[in-house]
């Protein structure tokens, strides 16, 4: 293989059998359960990196069911998103993500810098309740429940929330273990088709685990919940802050 062949083919590892195909990545019937809660502001300050800023100690805990995604297949994901601003732009800082499929773990980390780890989340309907669960190995780390389709939510407001930008801290180490890439990446969902959205009574429990640290942002008060289903394309990212270049983009 010639040097130019390596350059042309290199977008994912392994070179000759990439872990995921090239995008774009379209998701059909992507289903969200998002519970918004109030947490300890001191705990939040420990995990939100500058230059991102937060006003209120609010966290959005998400379960996402993805039955049909180009290149990534069928999987479920969960994690915490913190409402923040960067230079006046409102968005969400993705703190952690746990999922059960290797291709989107590799693709998410390599391309955008999604903070993905392997675990076993589920999102399913049990009689009259929508139930989200996160197990890391055999240990329950998160449990979310919501009344199934109790009240129709505001379609336009929910659509805008799905389309809002989000921020990621992309870290790729050098061969000596020091950071070679350390950047804030901004991305957004594109071509969103919101099919349905609901709200209703909800509850959320987060439980301690040494390696699955969702409980580091404790639930002080559940504020709201949204259950939605949409088609969308995961937009490619852009670098908005470079930590290794003294803030230069």
Beta-carbon neighbour count of residue 193 at 10 Å?
A: 11
Whole-angstrom Cα distance, residue 188 to residue 165? Answer: 5
Over the stretch 84-113, which tens digit does the pLDDT of each residue have? 999 999 999 999 999 999 999 999 999 999
Do the domain assignments include residue 206?
Answer: yes
Tell me if 13 is assigned to some domain.
no
pLDDT number for residue 248: 52
Residue 1 lies in a domain: no
Residue 249 has pLDDT above 90, yes or no: no
Range 16-29 average pLDDT: 95
Q: What is the mean pLDDT of residues 64-77?
A: 97
Residue 122 lies in a domain: yes
Tell me whether residue 232 is in a domain: yes
- Domain containing 39: what range? 24-245
Gap between the Cα atoms of 236 and 103, Å rounded = 16
Please give the positions annotated as active site.
Answer: 116
In a domain, 152, yes or no: yes
Determine the pLDDT at residue 246: 67
Inside any domain, residue 16: no
User: The whole model's pTM is what?
Assistant: 0.95
The answer to whether residue 12 is domain-embedded is: no
Instruction: Identify the CATH number of the domain in which residue 159 sits.
Output: 2.40.400.10
Number of domains in the chain: 1
């Amino acid at each position: 293989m010639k040097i130019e062949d390596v350059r042309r083919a290199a977008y994912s590892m392994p070179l000759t059998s990439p872990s995921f195909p090239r995008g774009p990545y379209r998701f059909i019937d992507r289903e969200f359960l998002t519970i918004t809660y109030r947490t300890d502001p001191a705990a939040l300050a420990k995990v939100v990196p500058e230059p991102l800023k937060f006003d209120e100690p609010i966290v959005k805990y998400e379960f996402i069911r993805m039955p049909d995604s180009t290149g990534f297949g069928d999987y479920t994901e969960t994690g915490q998103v913190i409402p923040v601003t960067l230079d006046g732009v409102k968005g969400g800082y993705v703190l952690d993500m746990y999922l059960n499929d290797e291709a989107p773990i590799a693709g998410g980390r390599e391309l955008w810098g999604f903070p993905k780890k392997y675990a076993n989340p589920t999102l399913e309907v049990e009689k009259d309740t929508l139930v989200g669960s996160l197990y890391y190995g055999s240990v329950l780390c998160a449990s979310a429940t919501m009344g199934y389709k109790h009240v129709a939510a505001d379609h336009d407001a929910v659509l805008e929330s799905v389309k809002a930008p989000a921020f990621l801290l992309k870290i790729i180490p050098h061969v000596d273990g020091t950071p070679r890439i350390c950047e804030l990446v901004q991305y957004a969902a594109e071509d969103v088709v919101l099919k349905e959205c609901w709200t209703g009574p909800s509850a959320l429990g987060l439980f301690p685990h040494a390696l699955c640290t969702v409980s580091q942002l404790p639930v002080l008060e559940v504020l709201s919940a949204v259950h939605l289903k949409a088609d969308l394309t995961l937009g490619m990212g852009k670098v908005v802050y470079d930590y290794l270049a003294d803030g230069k983009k």
